């Protein structure tokens, strides 16, 4: 239930030191891609560590609707019998991607060069989000989209019967747009080229190579030119999904917020295109050690040991934004406990996430007694030190899992309890959040007080 049912208010209270091991779920980005590429490969793909959050389960359903055989074999263990590149069948009903922008955008890309028609929808949050950023480049392949005003969902996409390859420079830093174009390029003859001005998460590129596609990447400073040769035969794989750094961010920041804490967060993916939060936390003075560095499932991984530390506000450079785009909400909550201002620039993409995250964080922080400054592309949080965050408010989660979790982390260290009006969206990405934080000693309760 991600905001589709009865709201689930949740309260966080000042907590004793957090202690223990925080095993966070599988990476959401990697999980979506594993199902989609598995569905396009020939043979049986086996996935372990898959995130079983609502977003990914919606993608699994969509892959079934498009003709793949997707089955749960055990906790986090899934098998996908794919249909082969270009083999998607026309779904006989609307595809509902729930809360997931990644799901809907990647799936639209993957079907855009097959001669089928599909209608996509989602929850109230997803229906507000821009889809033109994906349907515009898909039109270059020959796909036709008809949505609501501004290209919003519900939207019907008819894939190109005779797709042509495309060269496309992504106008916004978005791994979803890049990935949609690459997935569409899979079933176009010849070479599809995607140019990004700033590097964004590269899981699609890594995984495409892993499934046997021919893909090259030329780097020129932050600019990347990705060339994919179309119509490969993708070969089924065995994939281990690393744990999600974006989910790890919550117990990591909670341990930094609550005095006396020491938490081990094992097996976290540290792909450089995702690890900007950890760089920022170290700059703020966080005591984090990266133990047992290794490679798992083609991604660099480490165990993170985090101890509560006094923190100082920092300026986050705009060129780092893409590598921590999902972590700004929890960084904003943490910044309230630092000494001095934390300035986050180059963050306007936050306005088109599951909610307008700049606005949602700014309003919630103000309600909790924190001074903020907000511009279209910037958020500054004026920290009040480790014991100086008043709290004592109810904040709105706006159907946004990361807003809900960020304010619950803030409440673990605030002087007065912080209530989130609806914590149910947390199930989209981190179903075990409440149990995990509770297991570390964090005081969360499902209450109206």
Note the residues at the interface with ligand S3P (CB under 6 A).
Answer: 29, 102, 174-176, 179, 201, 325-326, 349, 353
Question: Across-strand partners of 294?
Answer: 301
Shortest Cβ distance from residue 349 to ligand S3P (Å)?
Answer: 5
Greatest distance between any 2 Cα atoms in the chain: 63
> Which of 186/370 has CB closer to ligand S3P?
186
Report the residue number, 201 or 206, with the smaller CB distance to ligand S3P.
Answer: 201
CB 407 within 8 A of CB 418: yes
Are 25 and 428 within 8 A, CB to CB?
no
Per-residue burial over 367-404, b = 16 or more CB atoms within 10 Å of its CB, e = otherwise: bbbbebebeebebbbbbbebebbebebbbbbbbbbbbb
By beta-carbon proximity to ligand S3P, the closer residue of 51 and 311 is 51
Closer by beta carbon to ligand S3P, 112 or else 444: 112
DSSP 8-state symbol, 385: -
Least separation in angstroms between residue 388's CB and ligand S3P is 31
* Helix 132-141 and helix 175-185, axial crossing angle in degrees, nearest 10: 20
**Two tokens, residue 56:** 């990914």
Closest Cα partner for 1 from 53, 48, 40?
A: 53
- Rounded to 5 degrees, φ, ψ at 79 are -125, 145
**Would you say 174 or 332 has its CB closer to ligand S3P?**
174
Residues 383 and 335: beta-carbon distance below 8 Å? yes
**Residue 423: how many other CB atoms lie within 10 Å:** 25
Q: Which of 27, 326, 400, 422 is catalytic?
A: 326
326 has catalytic annotation: yes
User: Nearest distance from residue 133's CB to ligand S3P, in Å?
Assistant: 8
CB of 262 to ligand S3P, least distance (A): 29
Whether residue 25 contacts residue 266, with contact meaning beta carbons closer than 8 Å, is answered with no
The least CB distance from residue 70 to ligand S3P, in Å, is: 19
Question: Of 347, 332, 371, 422, nearest to 172 (Cα)?
Answer: 347
Give how far Cα 172 sits from Cα of 134, 176, 196, 322, 348, Å. Answer: 11, 10, 8, 10, 10
Nearer to ligand S3P, 164 or 270 (CB): 270
Would you state the structure tokens that stand for residue 350, as one six-digit string? 């936050």
Helix-strand-coil percent breakdown of the chain, rounded to 5?
35, 30, 35
Least gap, CB of 62 to ligand S3P (angstroms): 15
Show which residues are catalytic: 326
């Amino acid at each position: 239930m991600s905001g589709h049912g009865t709201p689930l208010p949740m309260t966080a209270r000042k907590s004793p030191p957090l202690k223990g091991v925080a095993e966070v779920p599988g990476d959401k980005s990697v999980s979506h891609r594993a199902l989609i590429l598995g569905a396009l490969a020939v043979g049986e793909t086996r996935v372990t560590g898959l995130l079983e959050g609502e977003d990914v389960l919606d993608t699994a359903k969509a892959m079934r609707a498009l003709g793949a055989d997707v089955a749960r074999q055990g906790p986090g263990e899934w098998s996908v019998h794919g249909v082969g590149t270009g083999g998607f069948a026309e779904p006989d009903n609307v595809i509902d991607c729930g809360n997931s922008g990644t799901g809907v955008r990647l799936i639209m890309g993957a079907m855009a060069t097959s001669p089928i028609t599909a209608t996509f929808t989602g929850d109230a949050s997803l229906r507000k989000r821009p889809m033109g950023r994906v349907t515009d480049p898909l039109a270059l392949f020959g796909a036709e989209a008809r949505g609501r005003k501004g290209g919003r969902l519900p939207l019907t996409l008819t894939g190109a019967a005779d797709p042509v390859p495309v060269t496309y420079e992504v106008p916004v830093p978005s791994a979803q747009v890049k990935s949609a174009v690459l997935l569409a390029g899979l079933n176009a003859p010849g070479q599809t080229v995607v140019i990004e001005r700033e590097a964004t998460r590269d899981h699609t590129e890594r995984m495409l190579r892993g499934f046997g596609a021919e893909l090259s990447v030329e780097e020129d400073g932050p600019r990347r030119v990705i060339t994919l040769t179309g119509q490969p035969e993708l070969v089924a794989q065995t994939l281990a999904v690393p744990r999600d750094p974006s989910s790890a961010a919550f117990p990591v920041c909670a341990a930094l917020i609550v005095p006396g804490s020491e938490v081990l967060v094992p097996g976290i993916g540290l792909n450089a295109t995702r690890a900007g939060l950890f760089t920022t936390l170290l700059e703020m003075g966080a005591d984090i050690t990266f133990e047992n560095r290794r490679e798992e499932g083609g991604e660099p991984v480490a165990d993170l040991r985090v101890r509560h530390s006094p923190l100082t506000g920092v300026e986050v450079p705009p060129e780092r934004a893409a590598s921590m785009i999902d972590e700004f909400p929890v960084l904003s909550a943490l910044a309230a406990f630092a000494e001095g201002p934390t300035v986050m620039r180059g963050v306007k993409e936050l306005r088109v996430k599951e909610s307008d995250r700049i606005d949602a964080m700014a309003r919630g922080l103000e309600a909790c007694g924190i001074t903020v400054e907000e511009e279209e592309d910037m958020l500054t949080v004026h920290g009040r030190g480790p014991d100086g965050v008043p709290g004592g408010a109810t904040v709105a989660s706006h159907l946004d899992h990361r807003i809900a979790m960020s304010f619950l982390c803030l409440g673990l260290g605030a002087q007065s309890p912080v209530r989130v009006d609806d914590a149910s969206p947390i199930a989209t990405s981190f179903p075990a959040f409440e149990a995990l934080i509770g297991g570390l000693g964090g005081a969360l309760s499902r209450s109206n007080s």
